[in-house]
Amino acid sequence: MSKVEDIARELNSNFGVETEIRGDNSIWLEVKKDPLILLEFAKRKGFGHLSSISVTDWIEEGKYEVTYHLWSYSDKLLLNVKTKISRDDPVTLSAISLWGANAQIHERELHELFGVNFRGNLDPSPLFLEGWDKTPPFKKDFNWRDYVRKELLDKSNKREKGYWE
Amino acid sequence: MSGRNFLTNPTNGRKATGSEEMSTDKELIYDLPFGPAHPGPGNFSIKLKIRGEEVVSARSDPGYLHRGFEKLMEYRSPMQNAVLSDRICVFEPLNWNLVHAEAVDTLIGTNVPERAKYIRVLMVELSRIQSHMIWYGAMSLATGFNTGFKMAFGYRDYILDLFELITGGRVYPTGYICPGGVRRDLPSGAVEKIKATLDKVEEMLKLEELENPSFEARAKGVGILSAKDAIALGATGPVLRGSGVEADVRKDAPYEIYRQLDFKVPTRKEGDAYARCMVGIDEMKESIYIIEQVLDSLPSGKVREPSLKPELSVEIPNGEVYIRNEISRGEAAMYMVGNGGTTPYRVKIRGPSFLHLIPVLEHILPGNSISDVPAIYWSLNSCPADMDR
């Protein structure tokens, strides 16, 4: 059995999650509970590099999907862990205990752009948008075109006006 | 230092107005902003706390180049996004073109023609060389070695001439590497011109060896990053390899035609600014070797699927993909989610500089002298554009 199948089976037997192997080196899975225990297990198994964390806003479902992309330098494998959290009260545990400042910075970005709260991450200060007090801008229900038209359009400028009409 | 008015004492918030305050109380800690004036760190700022000449702590202040590409891409078709992906990093647009094109190709299931794969690798390796030249030039500027700066930017222009010939744009190729392949085939005479340009690059690398001592004096022993810290902080690319970790996406998870190519992954053990830069120089030599192999085995055939004209409106099926590439700065990745529409439902861009300029830089600056800050900063081969996105 190859290494990728080995790890997929181990994740399946330890956590009861469905795993999908794509290509020859990547595993995708979805967990129903908070993923921190699974992530901790993955890190012990060699997935030491937290490549990225991302959030997808499934607005119709009322859920945010948080995805962790991990890489193992020893086995040359990619592990993608997905979990869905409520969109109205988006809270999940921080991965700072596992990846320190690396996790901190990804979570800080997602807090700013989607409003997700990572419990245990104590520095949610904004990275990109100073003084922004409106809806987190990467949410699906934030319409930036409307926002620009209302707040920033210079009506006296003919060229700008033409662009929007 | 002329800008004394911005030296404030964080303990009580009053301004330090004269030199006597500094000389009578040596334990005073001052705030010193590094950037965001452009020729210094380039649209990025670090707030330093200094005691005398020594950096006590550093806090990165990004956001000067935030354009919201991830959100913008949700409103545009893949062909429009190919053009947008140029702008993720000013120094290496072709490499980001490839990350985006691979994400779309994988989601849609396009069979990219063999010749297109060769041209893609050819272009991203040329782009890697010119990006490393900018790095060498900026690093030289930061260490007061102006000759190096002029030399690197001068020789880089030969590669920009090639880009103009092949893509039509000197710096921005406007999505030359697009979903399905590349926009057009190599024009006649391009192969000979590329070979001549490689000779020029080799010429520059020889000059670099002659000028090395003055560069060495400023870069050796500063900004040390251990291998363990590098992995923990998410460092990738030359920063990670400069700390002795042999990791390269092109080798570890080969994409395009990298599996068929022969090249080494240069590493250095020291983990200081000098080691990182030398990894960069060695990588330029490896890139030359890669390009020579590509040119020798360039197959004939189509360069895009469909070949007649690009598909402007194409349905992106349900599904998601996480694409990782090795660009000159490190690991570039794109997470793309499709839901059956003509635009991606969600795009997440992972730029290597996001980790290098925030956690890594904040970690390695304390303990160094303020005069070494520019050298350490540029040794990370940073690009504020791919950090802010």
Distances, alpha carbon B209 to alpha carbons A48, B185, B214, B374, in Å: 36, 36, 11, 22
Q: Which residues of chain B have pLDDT under 70?
A: 1-26, 38-41, 210-211, 307-311
DSSP states of B214-252: HHHHHHTTSS---HHHHHHTT--HHHHHTTT----HHHH
Interface probe for B, chosen from A76, A80, A105, A138 (most Cβ of B below 10 Å), is: A105
Q: What is the pLDDT of residue B133?
A: 92
> Tens digit of pLDDT for each residue in A29-55?
998 888 888 999 999 988 989 999 999
CA distance B209 to chain A (A): 33
The beta-carbon neighbor of B253 closest among A25, A52, A57 is A25
Say if the Cβ atoms of A78 and B253 lie within 8 Å.
yes
What are the boundaries of each domain within chain B? 4-61, 69-388
Say if the Cβ atoms of B346 and A128 lie within 8 Å.
no
> Tens digit of pLDDT for each residue in B244-297?
999 999 999 999 899 999 999 999 998 898 899 889 989 999 999 999 999 999
A78–B contact, CB cutoff 8 A? yes
Q: Give me the amino acid identity at B293.
A: Q
The beta-carbon neighbor of A51 closest among B252, B331, B363 is B331
Distance CA A54, CA A114 (A): 10
Q: What is the pLDDT of residue B38?
A: 58
B145-150 long-range contacts, CB within 8 A, separation 24+: B145/B211, B145/B214, B145/B215, B145/B218, B147/B211, B148/B208, B148/B211, B148/B215
Model confidence at A132, pLDDT cuts 50, 70, 90, reads confident
CATH number of B69-388: 1.10.645.10
Q: What is the pLDDT of residue B19?
A: 44
CA distance B70 to chain A (A): 8
Which residue spans of chain A are classified as CATH 3.30.460.80? Answer: 3-133
> Tens digit of pLDDT for each residue in B330-360?
999 999 999 988 899 999 999 999 999 999 9
Tell me what ipTM this predicted complex has.
0.89
- CATH 3.30.460.80 for the A3-133 domain, yes or no: yes
Say if the Cβ atoms of B333 and A69 lie within 8 Å.
yes
